[in-house]
Amino acid sequence: MKLLVIISGSVAAFKTLMFIRLARAAGHEVRAILTEGGARFVTREAVAALTGGPVHHDLWAAEESIGHIRLARWPERIVVAPASANMLARMAHGLTTDLASTVLLASRAPVLVAPAMNPAMWEHPATQANIAMLRGRGVGFAGPIEGAMAEPESGAGRFIEPADLLAALTEARPGAGAGAGALAGRHALVTSGPTHEPIDPVRYIANRSSGRQGHAIAAALAALGARVTLVSGPVSVADPAGVRVQRVETAREMLAACEAALPADIFVAAAAVADWRVAAEATQKMKKEPGAGAPVLNMALNPDILATLSRHAARPRLVVGFAAETEQVVGHAQAKLARKGCDWVIANDVSGDVMGGLENRVHLVTAQGVEDWPRLPKEEVASRIAARIAEEFRS
């Protein structure tokens, strides 16, 4: 693969030299851009020796044999390693202050970022907001990891190890999912579709749900090698290939099937579960008697499957809920994160044509912040969710 490596200013830049060596040994063709900051930590000569070619650095240099647009067209993948806080900020805001940032804006190649910085800079809301923005655009992240820093401090912000960066490169395909096998050995439990709550043998109460998004997530997780159990309410979409599908009707059946499927590493609650059921289901069809008024239905609360599994003794390591909202989409999702005790909430605005439709516009809400994803086909949303989950399990 044609790989453009952008080295920005961090003391971890020396590790990128090892990464370049590993990448070339694995058969990749590597070119490099060394930013001004990067050149403070590693020399052009060292980068040139390891890539076996010229090192690009100056946007305006007359001697550059290749213009920034041509350079932007060349790579099949761009790896920004190490990515400083400044580099992330420029990427997020589309600034073109040097060759590296200009090439990043001018290229359509998928980008993988390996950040390295002091924990305080990493945790700063400005950096986290930039990261959320970049993730929302499909930029992949490898690391950082937790550990000792160059200065006597430790925490999150340490550059990923070179071999792990190479593994991340082959696993992750930003914006399109991660490589096969990234979730091998993991058990993922997914709910999908509506539940039907019977009134009598012929009538029921239900939420609107086609099951398209939940089924696509099950398929995307299976494509990454996870063993997937899909607990589905009544839907007309086809069972995804390679997934164990368990069909249920009611919320109580869905909860029982989910609990029976534990233990699991991942739980994605994509089902539109009915919040209430009819307290006493009629055993015979209720008759419309001439002259009699409409019956009054006595309702009972259904169990909350997401909240139950979030607080379960065998809680899956990563619990992801959905929030279908028609207004204040992100605000309601943030409240739901706390209320349900889950790790992520995928909020979608269902005020338009999302329900039953083929596309979805979602926001990924976590304790770290909010990622706004563009409107995408439901399969693409599913691949991105699966790729983000794989990323979570890699770190």
Catalytic residues: 207
Residues 226-255 as x/- pattern, contact with ligand C5P by CB under 6 A = -------------------------x----
Angle between helices 378-394 and 212-223 (to 10 degrees): 40
Regarding 323 and contact with ligand C5P (CB under 6 A), the answer is: yes
CB of 260 to ligand C5P, least distance (A): 15
The residue among 117 and 385 lying less far from ligand C5P, judged by its C-beta, is 385
With contacts defined by CB under 6 A, name the span among 43-51, 285-293, 316-324, 369-377 that binds ligand C5P. Answer: 316-324
With contacts defined by CB under 6 A, name the span among 26-34, 61-69, 225-233, 315-323 that binds ligand C5P. Answer: 315-323
Residue 202 CB burial class (10 angstroms; 0-12, 13-18, ≥19): exposed
What is the SS3 assignment for 346? strand
Regarding 271 and contact with ligand C5P (CB under 6 A), the answer is: yes
Regarding 189 and contact with ligand C5P (CB under 6 A), the answer is: no
The token pair that represents 379 in the structure block: 């399969």
Alpha carbon of residue 343 to chain centroid:
12
The residue among 155 and 341 lying less far from ligand C5P, judged by its C-beta, is 341
* 111-115 β-sheet, strand order: 55-56, 29-34, 2-7, 77-83, 111-115, 140-141
CB of 141 to ligand C5P, least distance (A): 25
Within 8 A by CB and 6+ apart from 280, the residues are: 298
Closest chain position to ligand C5P (CB)? 305
Please tell me the distance from the alpha carbon of residue 237 to that of residue 156, in angstroms, as a whole number.
42
Containing 29, the helix (H) or strand (E) segment is: strand 29-34
CB of 279 to ligand C5P, least distance (A): 16
Q: Cβ–Cβ contacts within 10 Å for residue 285, how many? A: 11
Q: Cβ–Cβ contacts within 10 Å for residue 125, how many? A: 9
Regarding 269 and contact with ligand C5P (CB under 6 A), the answer is: yes
Contact footprint for ligand C5P (CB under 6 A) = 191, 251, 269, 271, 273, 275, 302, 304-306, 321-323, 336
